[in-house]
Chain A
Amino acid sequence: MIEIQPTLRAESLTKQFGAVLAVDQATLQVNPGEIVGLLGPNGAGKTTMLRMIAGILTPDSGHVSVRGVNIADHPLEAKRMIGFHSGDTQLYRRLNAREALQYFGRLYGMPEDRLNARINELIDLLEMRAFCDRPCDTYSAGQKQRANIARAFLHDPDLLILDEPTTALDVISGQFIVETIRAEKAAGRAVLFSTHIMGEAEYLCDRIALLHQGRIVDQGPLDDLLERSGCRNLTDTFLKLAGREVAA
């Protein structure tokens, strides 16, 4: 049997800020064409974990590799394979979306002709034509999110890391982003995705990891999680696991 190389392998990641243990021995794996959801309450350590995986923060211990490339040893090579988006990643307000995308495309080393073609493709895909030539600080929340998603998708990364991509969006924009993520999965990309919205996770994720107080308390396909917890839905499962952990 041929073993598929996982797109992301994060092992025993730990990060401490002063006295606070933000992430504790977290291990996670995402395969090509798979969407893995990272669920946890506020302050569970999701953002810190995703930042470590994206190579933005250096873990105190543990390893991250993307398609076998260790991010600590070869950060630039690994980052070229990652598209990262979170509520904290914004675009430059005095540039327009097209200029911002050109800037990032050049940083990723994309040839100019391919870059311009890809930008036009994303502008059409994410329906950005109406506003893409205006400065970013004139965008609505939904328009900003689309421009940010375009930036994360721009260089055709193997691994997409999306930290609460639908937060603060209206239903239509949120649904649009969700469908876009499904399309990326269909294109064979690995997606690691964090959300507060349980319905979104149930709809999108092949596997779910539950993070609580910096530790992954359970992970697996939705049905397995439900079976192990004895709950009817993900919300109850999450609450139960979290509560059990708190009680312990």
Chain B
Amino acid sequence: MRFRILSIIFRKELVESLRDRRTLFMMVGLPILLYPLLIFGMSRLQESQQEAQQQRESNVAVWGAMPDELAARFRDAPRLGILPWAEVPAGVRQALEAGTVEPPPVEPPRREADDRDAKPKPLPTEAWARAAQQAILDRKADAVLILWPGFSSSVAGGAAGRATILYDSVRPDSTTARNRLSDELRLWRIELTEARVRERGLPQGFHQGLEYESQNVAPQKRQAGMFLGMMLPYMVILLSVMSGFYASIDVTAGEKERGTMQTLLCAPVEALEIVGGKFLAVWTITLLGTTVNLISLSLVFSRVKLIPGMEMQIGAPTVLLAFVLLLPISMMVTALFLAVGAFARDFKDGQNYLTPIMMGLIFPLVATMQPGIELNAHLAFVPVVNIALLIKAVFLGEWMADMVFLVMISSICYAAIALVFAAQVFERNNVLLGGKETLGGVLDFSRTPGARPTPGVSMLLFSVVLVIAFYASLSLTKLSVPGMLLIVQYGFFLLPALALVYAKGYDWRETLSLRRLPWRGLLGALLIGLSAWAVASGILIRLLPPPESLVKALEKILMMDDRTVPLWQVWLLMAVTPALCEETLFRGVILSGFRRLGMWPALLISGLLFGLAHASIYRLLPTFFLGVLFGYAVWMTGSLWAGVICHALNNGLMALLARSRETVEQFGLAGQKYLPWEYVGIAAVVLAAGLWLVRGAAPQRSSTTA
């Protein structure tokens, strides 16, 4: 791929898309208009409705004999209109006056918090209930208060008078009436019971037994964050990806419809350059849309109080972090849009094809709006859901660096898979020319005997392996450390790598660098393996010190849960196994895929992927460094065995130090947080010697270069 051509296509696509009014509207117009309209509109509507309800008098039909004291209280109550016996059918009135009707039975007190089987109380089937329901639904009354026979005498005689309020929970006016009635009855009850206590000379609080109250400890910022976190991920993600919706269709199906796709295919450009340029242009538009969205949101929220008395400021750091989190998800959706859009014959067709993707986004986003769903290790690898939950955590101020890292890695993996899919589609000229091609045809990774993997295949392998290995290790936590390690290493690292080489018919020797390691290379690899860890941990760990919990977790793994296991078994499991499996995957297939980019890009990318696979931001730098070093040894010697030896020695040394207290004390490392500088210095010299040795050990240099 030529970056100059990529940049030419990118610039043209961007200019053309930005001249499209639909794209501009979705990118800039919609967020600028929608948020103020939605938020201001919502809050104004809510306010005016609340205001109107507060102003309006509640009409309450009271059925039953009302004591004078209660009638006087209702008269004095603000905005409460009492309509005695209003809308009551004659039969019901007669029964209430004659005392021939029974109130519904009193329900025994029960626990409500964890009562999952609790059902809403059904409406009784008696005539009074149906009559009250009719009166409320016909809006003849906002609520009906039934004072059951004997109400006045019970209250006067020191017992409890029975009353029932009937209301419609769906109608705000009815709910307000219920609340006003409840308030008055509650306050009257307090007065009554206090008077009874006084009359009988009982201590204060006798009738209550105990007093308790709840106090919300959530700071205002958290409460606002909870509210924002429930609503905003949905809106921000959806509107951001919507920015690129029209542009995606325009540069794929739109181009096919207008006949410009064929014009581009005539030019001396590669399919990857076309898809790359188009992808970058649409992604840029999506990111511009994301920026406008976030700015518009933060401006609107700084002006509006959605919850009375609550400040909802979205600060610059929150906006920035939300933007970073939206990078991979917008990348994934853009790539999917392009790949699927390319199948469409025309613009209209494109809209039909892309709408299911939008729907596929909406469902997980709605799920994340539910209260109580929080980000955890399992959800960190679920696409879309992970980003939405992380944005929610960001608004709550509860994000952790390692969780952000996990979410970003997994999202980048999904984005990479989507990108490889898009590239695969654009490789099919027949699709781009409007011909028919099934999805299966596009996904057919045919055998190319004797070839080597491409960067796309390497990226795809890494992404798929990482996601599967992550879920597998989560589900294997009940196994012992050795059991889990063996399954992950051989089952999820080595096996997929070898299966890919076999299935695609790649050249085993070239892809996996299966060559004899010359003596000089062997010596170099030994020196690198012995010193690389010391340099990595001595310098890089100082830059970003890992938390104690991570160090303990790593030590636990290196201990294999058990100090009594012989050291040779530890080495076999902790050193030899990862060296064989991870080197085959990373320095074998993955590095081989990136070879065509040249030595340093290939080493840096494969090293970065090796670092990312260790799934912790604190381990990223050291493992990236080690990945590059091992890759250099393999590249220079042309033999995978150089990487295997480096890796095995590196891990073996770590396992030895973790297990052998004597060795640690012997080297004076006990109680040291970091490796002393003098050791780092010595290790750096040994490492330099190792690198020098492997540099000159290239028996088949010509065949190892791109």
A-to-B contact residues, CB < 8 Å:
17-18, 51, 54-58, 75-77, 79-80, 82, 84, 86-95, 99, 103-104, 106-109, 148, 151-152
Centre residue among A79, A80, A88 by max chain B CB count within 10 A: A88
- Beta-carbon nearest neighbor of A81 in chain B: B268
Minimum CB–CB distance from B2 to chain A (whole Å) comes to: 9
In the bound complex, CA of A152 to CA of B262 (Å): 12
In the bound complex, CA of A90 to CA of B429 (Å): 17
Minimum CB–CB distance from A35 to chain B (whole Å) comes to: 20
Chain A positions within 8 Å of B268 at CB level: 75-77, 79-80, 107-109
B478, CB-defined interface residue at 8 Å: no
In the bound complex, CA of A43 to CA of B363 (Å): 46
Interface size on B, residues (CB 8 A): 24
In the bound complex, CA of A104 to CA of B267 (Å): 7
A-B pairs with beta carbons under 8 Å apart, 16 shown: A17-B436, A51-B433, A56-B429, A57-B429, A57-B430, A57-B433, A58-B429, A79-B268, A92-B12, A92-B16, A95-B12, A103-B8, A103-B12, A104-B267, A107-B267, A107-B269
Q: Are A84 and B266 neighbours in the complex by a CB distance under 8 Å?
A: yes
In the bound complex, CA of A109 to CA of B269 (Å): 10
In the bound complex, CA of A57 to CA of B16 (Å): 26
The B238-265 residues at the A interface (CB cut-off 8 A) are: 258-260, 262-263, 265
Q: Are B260 and A90 neighbours in the complex by a CB distance under 8 Å?
A: yes
The B382-404 residues at the A interface (CB cut-off 8 A) are: none
B555, CB-defined interface residue at 8 Å: no
Q: Are A56 and B433 neighbours in the complex by a CB distance under 8 Å?
A: yes
Minimum CB–CB distance from A82 to chain B (whole Å) comes to: 7
Partner of A89, one of B263, B270, B429, B430: B263
Q: Are A79 and B267 neighbours in the complex by a CB distance under 8 Å?
A: yes
Q: Are A93 and B258 neighbours in the complex by a CB distance under 8 Å?
A: yes
Chain B positions within 8 Å of A54 at CB level: 266
In the bound complex, CA of A92 to CA of B262 (Å): 12
In the bound complex, CA of A87 to CA of B430 (Å): 17
Q: Are B259 and A89 neighbours in the complex by a CB distance under 8 Å?
A: yes
Q: Are B8 and A107 neighbours in the complex by a CB distance under 8 Å?
A: yes
Minimum CB–CB distance from A160 to chain B (whole Å) comes to: 12
Minimum CB–CB distance from A137 to chain B (whole Å) comes to: 9
Minimum CB–CB distance from B102 to chain A (whole Å) comes to: 79
In the bound complex, CA of A57 to CA of B433 (Å): 9
Q: Which 3 A-B pairs have the closest CB atoms?
A: A90-B259, A79-B268, A76-B268
- Beta-carbon nearest neighbor of B270 in chain A: A76
In the bound complex, CA of A31 to CA of B269 (Å): 26
- Beta-carbon nearest neighbor of B12 in chain A: A103
Chain B 10-48 near chain A by CB (<8 Å), digits 1 or 0: 001001100110000000000000000000000000000
Partner of A108, one of B19, B263, B267: B267
Q: A80-B268, A89-B266, A91-B263 are in contact. List 18 more A-B contacts (CB 8 A).
A: A51-B262, A57-B430, A76-B268, A86-B262, A89-B259, A89-B260, A90-B259, A90-B263, A94-B16, A94-B19, A95-B12, A99-B15, A107-B8, A107-B267, A107-B268, A107-B269, A108-B268, A151-B263
Minimum CB–CB distance from B669 to chain A (whole Å) comes to: 58
Chain A positions within 8 Å of B258 at CB level: 90, 92-93
Chain B positions within 8 Å of A51 at CB level: 262, 433
Minimum CB–CB distance from B273 to chain A (whole Å) comes to: 9
- Beta-carbon nearest neighbor of A17 in chain B: B435
B5, CB-defined interface residue at 8 Å: yes
Chain B positions within 8 Å of A58 at CB level: 429
Centre residue among B260, B266, B269 by max chain A CB count within 10 A: B266
Minimum CB–CB distance from A135 to chain B (whole Å) comes to: 8
- Beta-carbon nearest neighbor of B269 in chain A: A107
Q: Are A92 and B260 neighbours in the complex by a CB distance under 8 Å?
A: yes
- Beta-carbon nearest neighbor of B7 in chain A: A106
Q: Are A56 and B260 neighbours in the complex by a CB distance under 8 Å?
A: no
Chain B positions within 8 Å of A148 at CB level: 263
Centre residue among B262, B429, B433 by max chain A CB count within 10 A: B262
Minimum CB–CB distance from B11 to chain A (whole Å) comes to: 9
Q: Are B16 and A95 neighbours in the complex by a CB distance under 8 Å?
A: yes
Chain A positions within 8 Å of B16 at CB level: 92, 94-95
Chain A positions within 8 Å of B15 at CB level: 95, 99
